[in-house]
Amino acid sequence: MARQLHALLEGARKKGNIDAPVRFLHMKVEATLEATRALPIACKKGCSHCCHSWVSAPAPEVLYIAKRVRGMPQRARVADAFAAARNQDVIARKRNAVACPMFEQDICRLYELRPMACRFAASADAAMCLRVFRQASAEAIPSPSRNLRGRGAYQIALAAALKAAALPPAYYEFNAALARALSREDAETAWLSGEDFLRRAA
């Protein structure tokens, strides 16, 4: 997986286009998740407690999403979400929930493009999610172990591929990174050329 991603990242650098490695990553993640469809989870359309929490995403996903958000009405909400969550760490965000700018009327407007962290998020107890994400409870959300292991494995594979391609393997707070990517018309080509302008969003 890491070798395949590395090859795609090298191709992305030459083309100045991040789409191929991200689409490959998401395709593999969805194939892994297909094996978990039969597991009982409480997540369903309209259940959105986790859409108000801290989300971390790697630069390729941020840049891939930013290109699509540029032409969406939700673009204007990205700066507002960033301003509301700015300078808050994970603990502070638990006390001051901020909705994802792509979340609207109980629906993710970016669902098909959502980052890996959102794809692997799953819970067997929606009431507990309410307490954890909206009321700052310290409970541990009961997530399928396969989702947790899968997320870890894909994060390791992507980090290894990024390091091999001499690209930053960091994860960034989604709102901050998306706002910074949208602030630059050359965000994609700049990052692929080695400029880690997202670093402040780590």
Share of the chain above pLDDT 70, in %: 99
Q: Identify the pLDDT of residue 181.
A: 95
Number of separate domains in the chain:
1
For residue 107, what is the enclosing H or E element?
strand 107-108
Residue 93 has pLDDT above 80, yes or no: no
Dihedral, 163, 166, 169, 170 alpha carbons, nearest 10? 150
Q: What's the CA gap between 26 and 196, in Å, rounded?
A: 23
For residue 12, what are the CA distances in angstroms to 20, 88, 94? 7, 33, 36
Region 127-140: mean pLDDT is 82
Two tokens at 199?
């670093």
Q: Identify the pLDDT of residue 202.
A: 57
User: Is the pTM value of this prediction over 0.85?
Assistant: yes
Q: Identify the pLDDT of residue 21.
A: 98
Nearest Cα neighbor of 182 from 102, 121, 108, 109 is 102
For residue 183, what are the CA distances in angstroms to 63, 109, 140? 11, 20, 36
Q: What is the pLDDT of residues 6-54, one digit of tens each?
A: 999 999 999 999 999 999 999 999 999 887 777 778 888 778 888 888 8
Q: Identify the pLDDT of residue 3.
A: 96
- Of the two residues 101 and 87, the one the predictor is more confident about is 101
Q: What's the CA gap between 5 and 74, in Å, rounded?
A: 30
Two tokens at 17?
């286009």
- Of 36-40, 131-135, 162-166, which gets the smallest average pLDDT? 36-40
Alpha helices (runs of H) in the chain, residue ranges in sequence order: 2-15, 19-34, 59-69, 75-85, 90-95, 116-120, 126-135, 145-164, 174-182, 187-192
Two tokens at 74?
């939700």
Q: Identify the pLDDT of residue 56.
A: 92
Residue 201 has pLDDT above 70, yes or no: no
- Of 33-47, 75-89, 179-193, which gets the smallest average pLDDT? 33-47
Domain that holds residue 107: 2-201
